[in-house]
A and B are shown apart, each in its own frame.
Chain A
């Protein structure tokens, strides 16, 4: 008998369930079909303006830095400014997301923009978020050639551009957005929910920023 049959058999015996019980199966399928949200905390359930403000405030609490821009066209200048302020080389790595690559990077003459996944030699990575969650100051990142997952983790500084209109009150609404994009029951390879820069408390419970992921997370909120 295979491990599969043995385990399922033991589980069924313990639950006093029969294989092929259509009533149970229907209940389970219905539950997955509905994917109902449970209890949603009131904290993030706010009108757009307050929701975006909450997102920014929560992110700052997690030691992310936040910058707000009225229009996406100002992103390249903001990125160059961030690099100057942090004394970093004028060079960034990003994927092929047209929401980023279509921006006027050439206006920042000194800024080198490299495309493709990170190989670990990038000081700064720039990504575009799929969405955000105001309740916890979280950005939602989706894998693909547009925004390769390695850029979320390998660079020392991670700059995330997020459209203010994609910031939801709660994680459940963000999940519904992923479902709407990729189809019911379907997922991209990786979804990263990122709440602040990486950290560790493993040495005597002291909080230290910059563990294995980025030491700094800079959010550029566009619009709103």
Chain B
């Protein structure tokens, strides 16, 4: 997919002016937050489970090499195949190769952010293999030739009437006079259309929420059941997962599952949690005949051992974006790549480079809500700050911001001078602010004053106030 992260500002402007998008985003603001809160409040152990989940992932990451090896051994022992992909390109080629060997013409897909990350659909299509998304949200955006705008609700930016229009446009074999006014009718239609695809598919591709080192199992979590039909009906199942999805045992996955569904959708458990190990066994009467796992690095290993390592604990629940005022305002597409919201603001620069994604960690109010709801206790604001520092070190910020900061730093390092200057500056600015005590325009601050007024400073400087308070206290 084309990366538009460098154009975040233009993207955001467009999003704010998009009436339909703003209507759709209302569903994020109202839905997710209350549901999560209710589920969390109903489980007294939730906080303790967050700590437990964090400790599990920290341990797995600190021993990632060993758990990957153990996992591989068990997959092979259960009759599956493991493929290692350093880059997105490697992963695409590996998957194409497996599909070609299976003579695949149609591939059904369960919802997977990793396959978005490696832009698998466009690639397969180019090579003459037809990918069919089966998660309702993913199916909708595939019809629209769009990308997910949310990591668990990919079509959250689309309104019901848009879905209806898309179905009428694409499902031309169905009666044009059919009634599609209710969401149930839309779901029914997708169910019918996709049923045929499941049976037609030669290969089913899913992601994985967890990989279990102890057993060589991959786990997916869904509500629709599409990930299951995707993997049990075709003759081959390919699971694509990034390396940090590993946890040691089934019990570890169980701990994290408790915080995952609650943080994501406010459910205690998603409807379907599916553990897949190897291909079908002797005596089995259904299930895939072949099972492949593609392990993707694509930049994760270079986050290990850095200030961004903790981001690898992320379980893609989406809570951070559901609670983010910036995401609420602009939606997911403005972020310009696969991962939006606070987790995207940290992860995207790691994966595609801060030169392209530098705007994202700046698109934050530092309100801290993301960190407070993150089930894995990932310090997202701190890491955004790290990116800002790196961006500054590498001279990637605009010249005005850099010289402004240098100008300020000059005085900040000289406190006596700083205080003298502010003591003169404050009353002067206060005077210039006029009766309204506000500026409608200021030199060098057009970016701010174009949309709002800046209050003029009033009264004494902070240091003057401290001094007078101290002397008052001494009396």
Report which A residues bind B (CB closer than 8 A): 2-4, 6-8, 10-12, 14-17, 19, 24-25, 27-29, 31-32, 35-39, 41-43, 58, 62, 95, 116-117, 120, 135-136, 138, 143-145, 148-150, 152-154, 171-172, 175, 178-179, 185-206, 208, 210-214
Enumerate chain B residues within 8 angstroms of A135, measured Cβ to Cβ: 268
Contact of B70 with A32 in the complex, beta carbons under 8 Å: yes
Residues of chain B with a CB closer than 8 A to A36's CB? 249, 251
- Does B428 belong to the interface (CB within 8 Å)? no
Complexed CA–CA distance, A213 and B154 (Å): 20
28 contacts between A and B (CB under 8 A): A2-B84, A7-B301, A8-B68, A11-B301, A12-B65, A15-B63, A15-B65, A32-B70, A35-B248, A38-B251, A145-B285, A149-B287, A154-B229, A171-B254, A179-B250, A186-B78, A189-B287, A192-B274, A192-B275, A193-B269, A193-B272, A198-B271, A199-B271, A201-B153, A204-B27, A205-B31, A210-B187, A213-B271
Contacts of B153 in A (CB 8 A): 201-202, 205
How far is A215 from B286 in the complex, measured between Cα atoms in Å? Answer: 21
With a CB–CB cut-off of 8 A, which chain A residues contact B217? Answer: 187
- Min C-beta distance of A81 to chain B, whole Å: 26
Q: How far does the alpha carbon of A8 sit from the alpha carbon of B195 in the complex, in Å? A: 40
Verify if B263 is at the interface (C-beta below 8 Å from A): no
* Nearest CB on B from A148, distance (A): 5
Complex Cα distance, B134 from A62, in Å, reads 23
Q: Which residues of B contact A117 (CB under 8 A)?
A: 285-286
Stretch at the interface among B9-17, B220-228, B334-342: B220-228
Q: How far is the CA of A10 from the CA of B305 in the complex (A)?
A: 11
| Complex Cα spacing A185 to B287, Å | 20
Instruction: Establish whether residues A16 and B271, one from each chain, have CB atoms under 8 Å apart when the complex forms.
Output: no
Q: Are A195 and B270 in contact (CB under 8 A)?
A: yes
- Chain A residues within an 8 Å CB radius of B134: 212
Contact B65 A116 (CB under 8 A): no
Residues of A within 8 A of B272 (CB): 192-195, 198, 213
- In chain B, positions 36-75 with a C-beta closer than 8 Å to chain A are 43-45, 48-49, 52, 56, 59, 62-70, 74
- Tell me how many residue pairs across A and B have CB atoms closer than 8 Å: 262
Does B251 contact A198, Cβ atoms closer than 8 Å? no
B70 close to A145 (CB less than 8 A): no
- Given A172-B251, A190-B232, A204-B24, the answer on whether A39 and B187 have CB atoms closer than 8 Å is no
Q: A36-B251, A149-B232 are in contact. Are A11 and B64 (CB under 8 A)?
A: yes
Q: Could you give, for residues 77-100 of chain B, a 1 whenever the CB lies within 8 Å of some chain A CB and a 0 otherwise?
A: 010000111100010000000000
Q: A31-B59, A178-B250, A213-B271 are in contact. List 9 more A-B contacts (CB 8 A).
A: A10-B297, A14-B306, A28-B66, A31-B249, A38-B52, A185-B214, A188-B277, A193-B269, A211-B225
How far apart sit A15 and B60, CA to CA, in the bound complex (Å)? 12
A17 touches B65 (CB 8 A): yes
Q: Is there contact, CB below 8 Å, between A187 and B45?
A: no
Interface residues of B in 228-276 (CB under 8 A from A): 228-229, 232-233, 243, 248-252, 254-255, 257-258, 265, 267-276
Contacts of A188 in B (CB 8 A): 277, 281
Across the interface, do A211 and B223 meet the contact criterion of CB distance under 8 Å? Answer: yes
Interface residues of B (CB under 8 A from A): 24, 27-28, 31-32, 43-45, 48-49, 52, 56, 59, 62-70, 74, 78, 83-86, 90, 134-137, 140, 153-156, 159-160, 163, 183-184, 186-188, 191, 194-195, 199, 213-217, 223-226, 228-229, 232-233, 243, 248-252, 254-255, 257-258, 265, 267-281, 283-287, 295, 297, 301-302, 304-306
B66 engages A25 (CB within 8 Å): yes
Q: Is the CB of A35 within 8 A of B250?
A: yes
Q: Is B187 a contact partner of A208 (Cβ separation < 8 A)?
A: yes
A191 CA to B280 CA in the complex, in Å? 12
Closest to A62 in B: B271
